């Protein structure tokens, strides 16, 4: 197809899910060929001139100029800095966000409020012009799945890479490029179609974020019968932050924390009682209605649940 990311995503599905022995994808950026050949996908790279010709034949709109990159910080044009490597970098965590729409804007604002360093990559000139007036951080106009653009954004020193465009295939390919070509430790992709979530994880995205899953989780947490809730999954399923709501039937009601032996890795982080947070100590006793926040290893979660809830 004329969309390179769609070609690469479909090729990986054919290769990984359906085990088709021979898979070929048309790509327009020759720099991206090695990583996909390593994944067992044969690529056919059209020249830039050929790609522009094909795009021009299929669309009345003028083709995008490949490699065109502009940067702007808070409304003022700036020269893209030469970034140090991840090992050389000091200071706050560095996050690259692909997609400057509403999700990208609110995410950027939250990260900046927490003193993280952020760069946004946005492919739409219209959205680019808007967001550069709204955020006080560098914004790059370019393709977030382009090697040249990620190089300019300083992907080699990025700690986290987040792709939140409206297109699943763009988010997938951008995250794969960040991981494979630039070694970004943590990649996060927004997923519009929940059916793509497991596939993205299979293809190397560290964390997928689905609005459907978020809404479902929010609804479940409001159900009165829900006394147990997973708050956060850490380190790809090795650790979880869990909430347990105690009632009168809980085996630990009235007992001080020092008398309760937790086998394995489990820490009581906080106890919420009557709207207040209590830092747990040895003499802290559990009461009905307490919301107990724990950090627990996944394999022993059922054991901790039984100790606290009797279930």
In a domain, 65, yes or no: no
Q: 195: exposed, middle or buried (C-beta count within 10 Å: 0-12, 13-18, 19+)?
A: exposed
| % of the chain beyond a pLDDT of 70 | 68
Least Cα distance to 152 among 274, 250, 69, 49 occurs for 69
Same domain, 194 and 258: no
Same domain, 205 and 267: no
Cα torsion 29, 94, 212, 242: sign? positive
In a domain, 79, yes or no: yes
Confidence of residue 47 (pLDDT cuts 50, 70, 90): very low
Same domain, 20 and 123: no
Non-local CB neighbours of 297 within 8 Å, separated by 6+ positions: 238, 239, 240, 264, 265, 266
Q: Specify the pLDDT at position 60.
A: 35
In a domain, 63, yes or no: no
Same domain, 152 and 41: no
pLDDT tens string 13-22: 887 888 887 7
pLDDT of 1 over the 60 cut: yes
pLDDT tens string 291-305: 888 888 877 888 888
Residue 270: strand pairing partners: 293
What domain count does the chain have? 3
Q: Specify the pLDDT at position 230.
A: 54
Same domain, 124 and 200: yes
Task: Select from 147, 180, 215 the last residue of a domain.
Answer: 215
Non-local CB neighbours of 162 within 8 Å, separated by 6+ positions: 95, 96, 97, 98, 107, 187, 188, 189, 190
User: What domain range includes position 8?
Assistant: 4-58
Same domain, 104 and 23: no
In a domain, 64, yes or no: no
CATH of the domain at 38: 3.40.50.720
Following DSSP, what letter does each residue of the chain receive, concatenated? Answer: ---HHHHHHHHHHHHHTS--S--EEEES-GGGHHHHHHTT-EEEE--HHHHHHHHHHH-SSPPPPTT--EEEETTEE-PPPPPPPTTT--SS-EEEEE--SHHHHHHHHHHHHTT-EEEEEE--HHHHHHHTTT-SSEEEES-TT-HHHHHHHTGGG-SEEEE--S-HHHHHHHHHHHHHHH--SEEEEEESSGGGHHHHHHTT-SEEEEHHHHHHHHHHHH-TT--EEEEEEETTTTEEEEEEE--TT-TTBT-BGGG----SSEEEEEEEETTEEE---TT-BB-TT-EEEEEEEGGGHHHHHHHHH--
Same domain, 75 and 211: yes
Same domain, 42 and 85: no
Mean per-residue pLDDT for 117-146? 94
pTM surpassing 0.75?
A: no
In a domain, 129, yes or no: yes
Same domain, 34 and 98: no
In a domain, 264, yes or no: yes
pLDDT of 243 over the 60 cut: yes
Task: Select from 160, 195, 215 the last residue of a domain.
Answer: 215
Same domain, 93 and 169: yes
For residues 252 and 134, what is the distance between their CA atoms, to the nearest angstrom? 51
Q: Specify the pLDDT at position 124.
A: 94
In this structure, are residues 5 and 170 in contact, taking their beta carbons and an 8 Å threshold? Answer: yes
Task: Select from 182, 215, 248 the last residue of a domain.
Answer: 215
In a domain, 18, yes or no: yes
**Which range (43-52, 77-86, 160-169, 216-225) has the least confidence?**
43-52
CATH of the domain at 289: 3.30.70.1450
Same domain, 75 and 210: yes
Same domain, 80 and 191: yes
In a domain, 33, yes or no: yes
């Amino acid at each position: 197809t004329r969309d390179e990311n769609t070609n690469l995503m479909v090729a990986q599905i054919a290769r990984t899910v359906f085990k088709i022995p021979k898979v070929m994808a048309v790509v327009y950026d020759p720099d991206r060929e090695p990583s996909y050949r390593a994944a067992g996908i044969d690529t056919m790279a059209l020249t830039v001139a050929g790609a522009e010709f094909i795009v021009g034949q299929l669309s009345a709109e003028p083709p995008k100029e490949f490699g065109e990159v502009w940067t702007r910080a808070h409304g003022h044009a700036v020269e893209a800095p030469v970034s140090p490597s991840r090992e050389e970098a000091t200071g706050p965590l560095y996050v690259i966000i692909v997609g400057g729409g509403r999700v990208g804007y609110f995410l950027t604002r939250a990260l900046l409020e927490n003193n993280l360093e952020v760069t946004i990559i946005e492919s739409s000139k219209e959205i680019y012009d808007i967001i550069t007036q709204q955020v006080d951080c560098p914004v790059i106009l370019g393709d977030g799945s382009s090697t040249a653009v990620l190089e300019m954004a300083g992907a080699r020193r990025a700690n986290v890479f987040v792709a939140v465009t409206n297109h699943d295939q763009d988010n997938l390919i951008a995250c794969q490029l960040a991981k494979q070509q630039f070694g970004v430790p943590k990649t996060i992709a927004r997923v519009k179609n929940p059916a793509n979530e497991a596939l993205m994880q299979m293809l190397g995205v560290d964390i997928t974020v689905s609005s459907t899953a978020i809404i479902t989780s929010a609804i479940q947490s409001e159900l009165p019968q829900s006394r147990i809730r997973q708050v956060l999954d850490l380190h790809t399923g090795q650790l979880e932050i869990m909430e347990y709501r105690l009632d009168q039937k809980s085996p630990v009601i009235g007992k001080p924390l020092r008398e309760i032996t937790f086998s394995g890795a489990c820490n009581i982080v906080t106890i919420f009682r009557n709207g207040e947070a209590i830092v747990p100590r040895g003499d802290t006793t559990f009461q009905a209605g307490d919301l107990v926040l724990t950090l627990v290893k996944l394999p022993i979660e059922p054991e901790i649940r039984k100790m606290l809830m009797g279930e």
